[in-house]
A and B are shown apart, each in its own frame.
Chain A
Amino acid sequence: MADMKVAAYICQGCGLGERLDTASLAKIAQKEGKAQVVREHPFLCNAEGVAMIRNDIDNEAVTHVMIAACSRRAKTEAFGFTDVAMSRANLREGVIWIRPDDEASRETTQEMAEDYVRMGCAEVKKMKLPEADPAAVTERRVLVVGGGISGMTAALEASRAGYRVVLVEKTGALGGWGARLYKRSPSRSPYADPQDTGVDAMIAAVTSDGNIKVYTNAITSKIEGAPGRFIAEVSTESGATTTETVGSIVQATGFSLYDANNLPELGYGKSANVVDQAGLEALARAANGGAIKRPSDGGDVKTVVFVQCAGQRDETGKHLPYCSGSCCLTSVKQAMYFKDQNPDVDTVVIYTDLRMPGNGEDFYRSGQNKGVTFTKGKVSSVEATGNTCKVNFQDLILNDQTAIENADLVVLATGQVANSGVDVDAKLKAEIAAAAGDNTLLDAWNASQAEGAVKPISVLNLAYRQGPDLPQLKYGFTDSHFICFPYETRRTGIYAAGPVRRPMDIIQATEDATGAALKAIQAIENAALGRAAHPRSGDLSFPKVRIEGCTQCKRCTVECPFGAIDEDEKRYPLFNQSRCRRCGTCMGACPVRVISFENYSVDTVGSQIKAVDVPDEFSEKPRILILACENDAYPALDMAAMNKEVYSAWVRVIPVRCLGSVNTIWITDALNSGYDGVMMLGCKHGEDYQCHFVKGSELASYRMSKVGDTLQGMGLEPERVQVFEAAITDIERLPRLINEYSDQIAALPPSPFKGF
């Protein structure tokens, strides 16, 4: 850029002035960093210091600012200059707070600071001020798929916030499961009695809401586009197809009950008196407050047995392995249907663990008060004879194989199965399992592909390269970031709400749907401004690709954890900016390095790596590059610094957006420049991942597992490049880890590449 003007500011506050020779840092910024303006200031983040920088930007035509002060995570408001490209050299948390204040350390501490100034200057010169996506378009409507309680809640909440909604329901009527219940578990204090579902009122509110357009008997037969510009085809049963443009999507397709026909040992299908929870609701609705009769002959019901965890928490692999977290509440509620009508009816709940989420404990207590009997036990079988059943079970408290005879009705709590459509990763998961020696998934996959096999039906029918539905994480539930961002799926602008996301009850589903509606609105508003939706909410940068250099290797399209990249007709990657989370995983993947962000690129990091002054092999001063995830590892290092934890002066830390954005060229560059080791700090990956970008750290460790060949080719030891998992709480562990690694590297001979 012809009119680039770089200014470097060295802060002397917070002890920097006393601990460091800032005059020599300023000299380095000027001579080596080639900053046209260099200023030292005793207290850079105060009003006067900030005004000084502001003045340089406004009146001295400064376009690039390098601030050598505290961590980039500190003083973000004071240094929030949005009209210039800016880098931060971390002299406080990165240098003086993690080094001992003594004469022996003075020299190495100063060298550290000097390197960070060099790196800051090198970085900022490669940065551009990000501009919002120029192609940003806005459609402010929300598409809600599924008209149950979750879907209707999401629609009503979005409408109340002033957004128009398109609600698509597959069946002929709104209401979902809620409409099939006689009553629901209580949502209000004192949490003692079943209460009206409120579904009718909700349906009335939805149908009378001018902001909500409802399609029943309809599915989304095709969805393409990206946040702010989704185009959805809504096909009704009659064959009519309407095209709706929407800004974001909430998928609230709920659950199906686990099929009780899989449980013949529990008597289902053998006797009309064995029902699942839905069957009992139907009986209760039919009785409508009167006595519920025995289905087989209409006789009086004197004893009801509720079998918890029927086909759930199963360790044999035949049934659901998980707990649905809501069936205990339902069984207590259903036992009350009987007790409230006639206290003399015996109601026995056989459970292994009662799970009563939220205020469910009060409801449980109320059930006990009403005389519902709770028995800790495991049901082995239900025998149907005539009009009654015998429930055989192991009493787990009395350690007794026993039975309840003459039960008039047996209710099986069978649990929730997510209606999440096609498992887009099924084949991949099967192949990974097969590679690990387990062929069951692959066999299942092959069977599902055979001629005449029942194919899973897609819910969303996304026209995405990565498949027609939201990716699933575990047990068929849609993937969401459980810990950090529970509503966010791996498809930006599409949010899963309710039991499709994880098993839940009505109270939780209502909250969930409200949250999803807010996320949907957030996605629309950010897309309108051409900014990232989340987790880098408001980020204006987005990946740019130098298409003429692209070799069509497809790694970016395949590896993007969010399915943001399609392919155009010439098979080049087609970036959908508003689907992008700005993690840079594509940038890390690209073997020809044609993908970059304005303010984060192969060059911004690469130039920092090269800017470090690597001492020669006789100096006994090794250099170790640390690439630290800015979401967890870097904050942990900052916090370690606040605790004045000491770590090695040989390391130079560069924060990265995600380990997934680490391009292997950085590793080879570092080793070629004479670094003795490279340490990567990223988040936990695997099934219980903590990576903000879901797959980033996993991809990084996969890519780094292949670096061994490169190292061998360079004649270097494999331990010179290592990936570590770090959590934001590793405040004490990380400095220890760094010191151990540093000792390990120092014990190796110096890198043979020094001085080239």
Chain B
Amino acid sequence: MSIEKYRKNFLKEVEERVEEGQWVKMCMQCGVCAGSCPFGPHWEHTPQKIFMMIRAGKREEVLTSDSMWMCTSCYNCVVRCPRKLPITHIMHGLAYLSKREGLMPKNQPTAQFGQLFWDNLTKNGRVNELKLSLGMYFKDGFSQGIKNAMAMQSVGMGMMKAKRLNPMEILGGHGIKDKSGFSAMLKKAKELEDARRKLA
């Protein structure tokens, strides 16, 4: 798709394909979100800039930005936005579009964690905390994994003592009864969502 600058094609795509995307046009560029974000200095573009880039038709730059992945969902911006934009939701919606389009930044930890969590959850219908943590520790190789695990040792031991982490989960762990029903449900939900967002 060719995107002309400052035309509404990309904005239109965002409105159709991003959760709450129809709100982007209502931004009045006051910058309160940018000033309110606790992560403000640490990411590439503030929400204000992301919204302006959408209007400017900078599709590639928006969808490759790390900003949506850095959002911690603190909702400070949503609370303060004078135009009542659901900024946090829009950011997550943009992240989803960026992933679907294969444009998310490489080795983005939040994105990697998200993928691990999803795979972990959909396997048995329950989250396996032990495998999830280990998966996270060892994502950058074996020796880095050992280092990470050692660094987190005391937290892990504490969780085990408090019965929040079961070492036996390494053997497979718990799950739900109707796994195939669960997968069917997910598949259907994805179909519906994709149709709605024209992502198929």
Residues of A near any B CB (own CB < 8 A): 303, 346, 348, 354, 364-365, 368-369, 371, 373-376, 395, 397-398, 400, 402-406
Contact = CB atoms under 8 A, between A and B. Distances in A.
Most A CB within 10 A of own CB, among B6, B49, B58, B83: B6
Contacts of A368: 25-26, 28
B24 to A, nearest CB: 10
Contact of B25 (A346, A369, A400): A369
B52 to A, nearest CB: 4
Contact of B48 (A365, A374, A397, A406): A397
Interface in B1-59: 4-8, 11, 25-26, 28-29, 48-49, 52-53, 55-56, 58
20 contacts: A346-B7, A348-B6, A364-B28, A368-B25, A368-B28, A371-B8, A371-B25, A373-B8, A373-B25, A373-B55, A374-B29, A395-B52, A395-B56, A397-B29, A398-B49, A398-B52, A398-B56, A402-B6, A403-B5, A404-B6
Nearest to B22: A369
A375 B7 CA distance: 11
B48 A375 contact: no
Contacts of A395: 52, 56
A730 B59 CA distance: 57
Contacts of A403: 5
Contact of B52 (A371, A397, A406): A397
A549 to B, nearest CB: 66
A442 to B, nearest CB: 44
Interface size grouping (class) on chain B = 10 to 19
Give the dominant DSSP class at B's interface.
loop
Contacts of B8: 346, 371, 373
A368 B28 CA distance: 9
Interface in B142-199: none
Closest 10 CB pairs of A and B: A397-B52, A404-B6, A346-B7, A368-B26, A368-B25, A348-B6, A376-B29, A373-B55, A398-B52, A346-B8
B65 to A, nearest CB: 12
Contact of B4 (A364, A371, A405): A405
A52 B56 CA distance: 82
A697 B5 CA distance: 57
A402 B29 contact: no
A398 B52 CA distance: 7
B67 to A, nearest CB: 13
A373 B4 contact: no
Given A346-B7, A346-B8, A371-B8, A365 B29 contact: no
Give the dominant DSSP class at A's interface.
strand
Interface in B51-76: 52-53, 55-56, 58
B7 to A, nearest CB: 5
A348 B5 CA distance: 11
A374 B28 contact: yes
Contacts of B25: 368-369, 371, 373
B5 A404 contact: yes
Given A346-B7, A348-B6, A402-B5, A375 B26 contact: no
B49 A397 contact: yes
B4 to A, nearest CB: 7
A340 to B, nearest CB: 16
A342 to B, nearest CB: 13
Nearest to B52: A397
Most B CB within 10 A of own CB, among A354, A376, A398, A403: A398
Contacts of A405: 4-5
Contacts of B55: 373-375
Contacts of A373: 6, 8, 11, 25, 55
Nearest to A364: B28
Nearest to B58: A398
Nearest to A395: B56
B174 to A, nearest CB: 49
A411 to B, nearest CB: 15
Contacts of A400: 56
Contacts of B26: 365, 368-369
Most A CB within 10 A of own CB, among B25, B26, B48, B53: B25
A126 to B, nearest CB: 62
Nearest to A303: B7
Nearest to B29: A376
Given A373-B8, A373-B11, A406-B4, 12 more contacts: A348-B6, A368-B25, A368-B26, A371-B25, A375-B55, A397-B29, A397-B48, A398-B49, A398-B52, A398-B58, A402-B56, A403-B5
B5 A375 contact: no
Contacts of B52: 375-376, 395, 397-398
Nearest to B55: A373
Interface string B98-140: 0000000000000000000000000000000000000000000
A603 B58 CA distance: 79
A472 to B, nearest CB: 35
B13 to A, nearest CB: 14
